[in-house]
Copies of this chain bind each other. A is one copy, B any other.
Amino acid sequence: MGFPELKNDLYLRALLKQDTDTTPVWIMRQAGRYLPEYRETRAQAGDFLTLCKTPDLACEVTLQPLRRFELDAAILFSDILTVPDAMDLGLYFSTGEGPRFERPVRSQGDIDKLFVPDPNDTLRYVMDAVTLIRHELGGKVPLIGFSGSPWTLATYMIEGGGSKDYHHCKGMLYSNPQALHQVLDITTQAVVAYVNAQIEAGAQAVMIFDTWGGALSPEAYKEFSLRYMQRIVEQVHREYDGETIPITLFTKGGGQWIELIADTGCNGVGLDWTISIDEARSRVGEKVALQGNLDPNVLYASPEIIRQHVKTLIDKFGPHNGHVFNLGHGIHQTVDPDHLKVLVDAVHEFGAAIRQG
């Protein structure tokens, strides 16, 4: 497709555990409500789904944080629920309640109606956004594509929205595990097709967000979340157009299970802030790169304190290959953007310093 040549490959190199001059950094939800320019574009779109479904606008908000901060990767602006939306479950956003589905998946009849959407048909708007962003990036940094994990998508599909106690999906898990496996199987097929289409459209790395895997017991995590992420790792393009495509898995609340995650064969493991990165490195650092893991609330502190926390985290990881700096979860909407600039610059400063000894 004649994409511009990549100038900054720090993020890709770190995920492949290759040498880098400094520690690369990107921020989950870096295109988000803490940026006034994002709020303006969103207002222009009218609503969140229109913003996701309009490639020009999705491209604009994807690029916004890169104009302010020396980030080492861009991530496609989209929603994790685009796939179940394309399965005709009727995604909508109700004020104050977050995402909802008009037609939640509860009965065998509901399950029988599920299908693998053609990512180049109903999800064409995502692929158009990916290709547009990749061109507009001009090779500045790589573009990350993403999807929710099958388990995480299934929680929304079955509950019909967010949930505190997972009544319906865990009810299915314990009462009728075969039914849940059917949901997860078809969702996994859909995610694989979706992620592969993103790669074919221009994504240079992929990330799977298992936001609700940490709500499971260890046995249920293995059977209902990890097993399907394993299939994704095995079935998505790991090379495309002559380039290696690194894949990162992130189970929020999964600190107890990072050995299992690393064993899937993924390149990177995302960490939330409830695990020390030095402990994580000693447990799985020979196998995988690690992404994370500052508490997003550190960004409410002063620039000086932010710099201290960045330095401590980089020192804990040590002068090794394989660290992608990030927060342990998405940036909060009430953070001062200037504080993020302090963080990003500090990562590069201390990341370079530790490599120079």
Q: Does A332 contact B (CB under 8 A)?
A: yes
Cβ of A251 to closest chain B Cβ, rounded Å: 11
Q: How many residues of A contact B (CB 8 A)?
A: 34
Question: Are B255 and A170 in contact, CB atoms less than 8 angstroms apart?
Answer: no
| Contact among B220, B274, B309 for A295, CB-based, below 8 A | B220
| Contact among B171, B295, B332 for A217, CB-based, below 8 A | B295
| Contact among B215, B276, B297 for A218, CB-based, below 8 A | B276
Q: Does A300 contact B (CB under 8 A)?
A: yes
| Contact among B216, B218, B300, B302 for A170, CB-based, below 8 A | B300
**Which residues of A289-343 have CB atoms within 8 Å of chain B's CB atoms?**
295-298, 300-302, 305, 309, 332, 334
Question: Are B175 and A305 in contact, CB atoms less than 8 angstroms apart?
Answer: yes
Cβ of A242 to closest chain B Cβ, rounded Å: 40
| Contact among B166, B218, B274, B302 for A216, CB-based, below 8 A | B274
Question: Are A174 and B309 in contact, CB atoms less than 8 angstroms apart?
Answer: yes
Q: Does A103 contact B (CB under 8 A)?
A: no
Question: Are B218 and A171 in contact, CB atoms less than 8 angstroms apart?
Answer: no
For the complex, give the distance between the alpha carbons of A216 and B328 in Å. 11
Question: Top 9 closest A-B pairs, CB basis?
Answer: A170-B297, A171-B300, A174-B301, A175-B301, A217-B273, A218-B276, A174-B298, A217-B295, A255-B256
Smallest CB gap from A216: residue in B: B274
Contacts of A300 in B (CB 8 A): 167, 170-171, 174-175
Question: Are B332 and A165 in contact, CB atoms less than 8 angstroms apart?
Answer: yes
Given contact pairs A170-B295, A173-B297, A217-B273, enumerate 13 new A-B contacts (beta carbons under 8 Å): A165-B332, A167-B334, A171-B297, A171-B301, A174-B300, A174-B309, A175-B302, A214-B274, A215-B274, A218-B274, A220-B295, A253-B274, A256-B274
